């Protein structure tokens, strides 16, 4: 299981917020929805989702105990949080909205995953999904190169091309859909802050495969090589590709 550090992840919470807001804007606002947020993290954005939708019930699910510790501050009678793996997620009754912001890229076999999630929706239910797709950027490519030198498996993203998601959703029977690739630009204080950004996300997968000393060396090697490639700039404009998906059935 990937280790998550909420404090490291939230160092860039302002920058990470915009894709969430853009995804919520795609949702058809309907009364009395039953909602699940897969990969809810600390629960702060799940709380905002619940409020903006005026949902009847919202359940946030995440597999990180450390992330969910922070969710205690956000739950109430109609908003609750549970620990669980997305791969093992099942529904006791249908949801009107299955929402996932920056989580499904950790789950393999997206054709099977989307088929399974669509089966948990009510009639005319909605999917709203946002996933990072930044593997071509030096921040991700260099990490894979360093991983090979450390004798560990480079992370292989399960993300499909946007047009493949559109085709998949059509075959699953959606009546309307919106799929787009969006480039977000983040002005970071310096190039070195890219390392801090990925330490909260991508590098957690490599941390899981290494002991503490080797991971420290991994990060040092990664930092040196990355800065050699992207340059040492202050500020630094970090481009980040994401796929946003909305569909109703």
Top pLDDT among 125 and 74 is at 125
Identify the residue whose tokens are 């796929």. Answer: 243
**Residue 207, domain extent:** 6-248
- Asked if the structure places residue 66 within a domain, the reply is yes
Residues 49, 58: contact at Cβ < 8 Å? yes
The total domain count for the chain is 1
Check pLDDT > 80 for residue 3.
no
- The pLDDT assigned to 4 comes to 67
- Asked if the structure places residue 113 within a domain, the reply is yes
Average pLDDT, the chain: 95
Q: How far apart are CA 168 and CA 111, in angstroms?
A: 7
**Percent of the chain whose predicted confidence (pLDDT) is above 70:** 98
- Asked if the structure places residue 73 within a domain, the reply is yes
pLDDT tens string 25-80? 999 999 999 999 999 999 999 999 999 999 999 999 999 998 899 888 888 889 99
- Asked if the structure places residue 51 within a domain, the reply is yes
- Asked if the structure places residue 159 within a domain, the reply is yes
Residue in 100, 116, 249 with CA at minimum distance from that of residue 177: 249
Model pTM score? 0.95
pLDDT tens string 151-208? 999 999 999 999 999 999 999 999 999 999 999 999 999 999 999 999 999 999 999 9
CATH number at residue 114: 3.40.50.150
- Asked if the structure places residue 48 within a domain, the reply is yes
Identify the residue whose tokens are 């950790």. Answer: 106
- Asked if the structure places residue 1 within a domain, the reply is no
- Asked if the structure places residue 142 within a domain, the reply is yes
């Amino acid at each position: 299981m990937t280790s998550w550090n909420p404090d490291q992840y939230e160092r860039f919470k302002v920058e990470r917020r915009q894709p969430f807001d853009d995804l919520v804007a795609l949702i058809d606002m309907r009364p009395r929805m039953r909602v699940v947020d897969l990969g809810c993290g600390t629960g702060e954005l799940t709380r905002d989702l619940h409020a903006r939708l005026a949902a009847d019930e919202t359940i946030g699910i995440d597999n990180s105990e450390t992330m969910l510790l922070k969710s205690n501050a956000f739950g109430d009678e109609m908003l609750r949080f549970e620990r669980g793996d997305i791969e093992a997620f099942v529904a006791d009754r249908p949801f009107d909205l299955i929402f996932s912001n920056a989580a499904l890229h950790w789950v393999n076999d997206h054709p099977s995953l989307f088929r399974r999630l669509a089966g948990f929706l009510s009639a005319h239910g909605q999917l709203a999904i946002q996933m990072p797709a930044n593997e071509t950027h030096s921040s991700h490519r260099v990490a894979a190169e360093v991983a090979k030198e450390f004798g560990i498996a480079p992370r292989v993203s399960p993300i499909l091309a946007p047009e493949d998601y559109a085709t998949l959703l059509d075959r699953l029977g959606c009546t309307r859909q919106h799929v787009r690739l969006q480039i977000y630009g983040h002005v970071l204080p310096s190039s070195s802050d890219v390392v801090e950004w990925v330490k909260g996300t991508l590098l957690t997968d490599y941390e899981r495969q290494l002991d503490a000393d080797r991971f420290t060396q991994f990060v040092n090697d990664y930092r040196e090589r990355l800065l050699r490639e992207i340059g040492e700039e202050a500020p630094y404009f970090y481009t980040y590709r994401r796929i946003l998906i909305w569909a109703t059935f």
